[in-house]
Amino acid sequence: MNIRRVLVANRGEIAARIIRTCRNLGIETALAASEADLDAVPARLADHIVCIGPAHASQSYLNVDAVVRAAAAAKADAVHPGYGFLAENVRLARACREHGIVFIGPTEAQLEAVGDKMQARAHAVAAGLPVVPGGPVGSPAEAAALAKVIGVPLLVKAVAGGGGRGMKLVTDAARTAETADLAMAEAGAAFADPRVYLERFVIAGRHVEVQIVGDGGDVVHLGDRDCSVQRRHQKLVEEAPAPGLPETTRAAMHEAAIAFGRHLGYRGLGTVEFLLDRDCGVFYFLEMNARIQVEHPVTEAITGLDLVAEQIAIAEGRPLRLRQQDIRFHGHAIECRLNAENWTHDFRPSPGTVTTAVFPAGAGIRVDTHIEGGARVPPFYDSLLAKIVAHGANRGSAIERMKSALASCRVDGVATNRDMHLFLLALPEFLRGGMDTPFFARALQRREGDGGRPS
C-alpha cells in the first residue's frame, strides 16, 4: 500500500523531523498535539493539526484512545509514534490495527516480546545471545537468595522500567532484600507492575548498541553506536561508530543483533543494546528498543540513510531496500543533546520562554530542533531542545566540528547544558574514547573538586 497521510503522534524535535521526511516523500502529515503545543514549530510544519487533550501527557500524548480518534479525524492512513510516549505501546499498535490504521513500527507480538525485559532476556537466550547473570525475583527473600549466587555489586531493575527509573544499585549483599522491597514498591507505583529482577553490575561497562532494520524476513545492521556518556542512566552524548572497539568484538555484536532480529522475525527499525565489560571484553545483551532512537542521526550521518523513510517503506509492506553488502560506513559522527536544564545546579529543569535561538550550521553539522526565538519550553515534558550532530572524516575531526558548533550555539531565556558538553569534549578521557558508563559521574566529581575547572 502507499501511505498518503501520517498522523505524527509525538512532539518536539522528533515530530518536526518525521514531518520533514514525510514532506520529502510526498506524504501529508497531521500532528497530534496537546494544548501546550498548538503553536509550536511542528504544528506549523504539519499539513493538519488535531488537538488531543490538555498539556499533561497522561491526558494527551499517552492517551491511546485520543491518538486513535485523532488519526480517524485526520483521515490518516498511518500513525508514526516517534520515540517515548506510546512508541512501544502494544495497545496503540493493536488499536491502530483494529481501526484499519497502519502502525509505523514492529508487530504487536514483537512489541510484547521485547517490551517485557524478562521476555526479551528469554528471547535473547533462545537466539544464542549472552546475557548478564541474574534473573527474576518474586519477593525480597528470593532477591537475597539470588544475590548470594550472582554476587555484588548488582542491580535491582524494574521489569517494566526504562530510562533508569526503577533501577537500584546494591553494593552490600545484606541490603539486597530491603532494596528489592523498595524497588518493587517504586515499580508498582510508577509502572503499575511491581516485578523486578536482579542483574550483576558490570563496574567498567560500556553501553554499545546496534541499529537493525528488518522486513519480517530479512534483517540487516546499520552499524553500532556508543552511548556510554550518561547521567543517571540518561544518555547525553552518542557517537557512531563506537570508538576503540576491537573489530572482532564489533563484528560479533553485529552478528548477535542480526541473530536476535531474525529470531523475532523483526519488522521495522530497532536497536539491540549491549553492555560491554571493558575489563575483559565480554559483552551481554541488555534490551531491545523497538522504535526509532533519539540518537538515530549519528547512524544516518555515517550511512547516508534516512531511517524514518526506511520505517515508512517497511510499514507500506515493501521488502528491505538494503542488502548488507550495500551498506557503507563513512567517517565518524557525534551527537550532543542540548537540554533546558541548569547543569551546575544538579541539572534542574529550566522551563520558560526562549528569547534567542541561534543554532550552528555548516559542513558536517546537523541540528534537529523545534526551538526558535519566542518558543515556550513547557514544564510537562522532556527538556530536550535540540540535537546537535557533527560528522567528520574521523573522530578527531568530528570532535573539533562539534566544539565549534557548540561554541556558536546560543539559546537565551532558559538555562541549557551547552557548557557541560564543551566541558566534556575537552576531557582527556573523552578524547581517548571508549569511556565506561560511570565516566560522567567521575568527571563531575573531579570538576567539583577542582572548583569547577575542567580537569
CA–CA dist 61, 70 (Å, integer): 11
Mean pLDDT of the chain: 95
Q: What is the per-residue pLDDT for 453?
A: 53
With 90 as the cut, is the pLDDT of residue 336 above it?
Answer: yes
Please choose, from the candidates 243, 442, 443, 231, the residue with its C-alpha nearest in 3D space to the C-alpha of residue 339: 231
Interacting residues of 398 by C-beta distance below 8 A, sequence separation 6+: 239, 331, 332, 333, 334, 364, 390, 391, 392
What's the pLDDT score for residue 447? 86
Residue 159 — very low, low, confident or very high, per pLDDT cuts 50/70/90? confident
Q: Is the pLDDT of residue 67 over 80?
A: yes
**How far is the C-alpha of 400 from the C-alpha of 292, rounded, in Å?**
27
How far apart (Å, rounded) are the C-alpha atoms in residues 315 and 321? 13
Model pLDDT, residue 162: 65
How far apart are the C-alpha atoms of 343 and 189, rounded to whole Å?
A: 28
Residue 421 has a pLDDT of 98
In this structure, are strands 410-412 and 356-358 parallel, antiparallel, or unpaired? antiparallel
pLDDT over 80 (residue 166): no
Ramachandran angles phi, psi of 73, nearest 5°: -65, -35
Q: For residues 430 and 297, give the distance between their C-alpha atoms in angstroms, rounded to a whole number.
A: 20
Angle formed by the axes of helices 247-264 and 108-115, nearest 10°: 130
pLDDT above 70 (res 163) = no
CATH number 2.60.40.1730 given to 133-200: no
Residues 371-422: tens digit of each pLDDT: 999 999 999 999 999 999 999 999 999 999 999 999 999 999 999 999 999 9
Per-residue model confidence as pLDDT tens digits over 177-199: 999 999 999 888 888 899 999 99
Determine if the pTM surpasses 0.85. yes
Confidence of residue 164 (pLDDT cuts 50, 70, 90): low
Average pLDDT of the segment spanning 315-328 = 96
Gap between the Cα atoms of 332 and 318, Å rounded = 30
Cell 517504586 maps to which residue?
A: 186
User: What is the pLDDT confidence band of residue 85, given thresholds at 50, 70 and 90?
Assistant: very high
Is residue 454's pLDDT more than 50?
no
pLDDT digits 0-9 by tens, 424-436: 999 999 999 999 9
What is the arithmetic mean of pLDDT over 44-51? 98
- Mean pLDDT for 97-108 is 98
The domains of the chain are located at: 5-104, 133-200, 205-449
Q: Write the pLDDT tens digit of every residue in 218-253.
A: 999 999 999 999 998 899 999 999 999 999 999 999
| Per-residue model confidence as pLDDT tens digits over 277-288 | 988 899 999 999
SS (H, E, C) the chain: CCCCEEEECCCHHHHHHHHHHHHHCCCEEEEEECHHHCCCHHHHHCCEEEECCCCCHHHCCCCHHHHHHHHHHCCCCEEECCCCCCCCCHHHHHHHHHCCCEECCCCHHHHHHHHCHHHHHHHHHHCCCCECCEEEECCHHHHHHHHHHHCCCEEEEEEEEECCEEEEEECCHHHHHHHHHHHHHHHHHHHCCCCEEEEECCCCEEEEEEEEEEECCCEEEEEEEEEEEEECCEEEEEEECCCCCCHHHHHHHHHHHHHHHHHHCCEEEEEEEEEEECCCCCEEEEEEECCCCCCHHHHHHHHCCCHHHHHHHHHCCCCCCCCHHHCCCCCEEEEEEEECEECCCCCEECCEECCEEECCCCCCEEEEECCCCCCEECCCCCCEEEEEEEEECCHHHHHHHHHHHHHCCEEECCCCCHHHHHHHHCCHHHHHCCCCCCHHHHHHHHHHHCCCCCC
Strand partners, 349: 341
For residue 390, what are the contacts with CB-CB under 8 A and spacing of at least 6?
333, 334, 364, 365, 398, 399, 401, 402, 405
The rounded distance, in Å, linking the Cα atoms of 131 and 125 is: 7
Is it true that domain 205-449 has CATH number 3.30.470.20?
yes
Confidence of residue 170 (pLDDT cuts 50, 70, 90): very high
Backbone angles phi, psi at 57, to 5 degrees: -55, -35
pLDDT on residue 289: 96
Q: What are phi and psi of 276, to 5 degrees?
A: -105, 120
**Is the separation of the CB atoms in 135 and 197 below 8 Å?**
yes
Count CA atoms within 13 Å of residue 40 on its CB side. Answer: 28
CATH of 5-104 among 3.30.420.280, 3.40.50.880, 3.50.50.60, 3.40.50.20: 3.40.50.20
What confidence score (pLDDT) does residue 451 get?
64
Please determine, for residue 455, whether its predicted confidence score (pLDDT) is greater than 50: no
Q: What pLDDT shows up at residue 345? A: 93
Sheet holding 5-8, edge to edge: 48-51, 28-33, 5-8, 78-80, 102-103
What integer is the mean pLDDT of 122-142? 95
CA distance 241 to 322: 19
Please identify every residue annotated as catalytic. Answer: 291
Q: Which of 45, 102, 41 is nearest to 76 (CA)?
A: 102
Q: How far is CA 448 from CA 201, 312, 351, 452, in A?
A: 26, 47, 25, 5
What percentage of the chain reaches a pLDDT higher than 70?
98
Query: How long is the chain?
Result: 455
